[in-house]
Amino acid sequence: MHLIVGLGNPGSKYQGNRHNIGFMAVDEIVRRHGFSPWRKRFQGETSDGVLAGEKVLILKPLTYMNESGRSVGEAMRFFNIDPAQVIVLYDELDLEPGKTRVKLGGGAAGHNGIRSMIAHAGPHFVRVRLGIGHPGDRHLVQPHVLSDFAKSDKAWLEALLQAVADNIDLLVKGEEGSFQNKVHLAVNPPPEKPAKKAES
């Protein structure tokens, strides 16, 4: 069994925030793959379904970002899920908007949600970092992540969320490289080659 976690803050006030891109991604997975309706448990909301022939539980912690690990740890203990079977989707300041990076394990790199995850689940889970871009000044980081995506972000954001949902089964199968490549190509499609002129 895999546990897929989206990180974010609960409530309508935060719904469109850059910090909530993890929630947005798992919402899209649930919608596109016909998972069960959300229900409240493990200090969060859960939905379940099947991906790549395997049972998958999706979790949105409702503990606020800085305490995300409490909710995740509870679900992991209940189902006896190994940390390597946990996939976490979250916002990444140090990646350009629309960029995606996947890796197993590592540190928190200043992300409070990941710091809480490490405290409650250890570091050996799969991280899916979804780029939201950096405002350029560390003093502007908090207002940047806690403000909504701009209208100009709509095209790449929708393409990213759809690509993540369409290819999430690859992560369940452990094919991180293929997932990353397919998402990149969906968000940055190669330019079409001009049609060759017919020879006269």
The residues annotated as belonging to the active site are 19
Which residues on neighbouring strands pair with residue 173, listed in sequence order?
none
Q: Which residue has the tokens 């560390």?
A: 138
Helical axes 154-172 vs 21-32, angle rounded to 10°:
60
Rg (CA), the chain: 17
Sign of CA dihedral 114, 106, 185, 34: negative
Give the integer Cα–Cα distance in Å for 172 and 51: 7
Cα 55 to Cα 3, 84, 134, 142, 192: the distances in Å are 9, 15, 36, 36, 39
The alpha helices in 80-122, defined as continuous H runs, are: 112-121
First-to-last alpha carbon distance for the chain, in angstroms, is 61
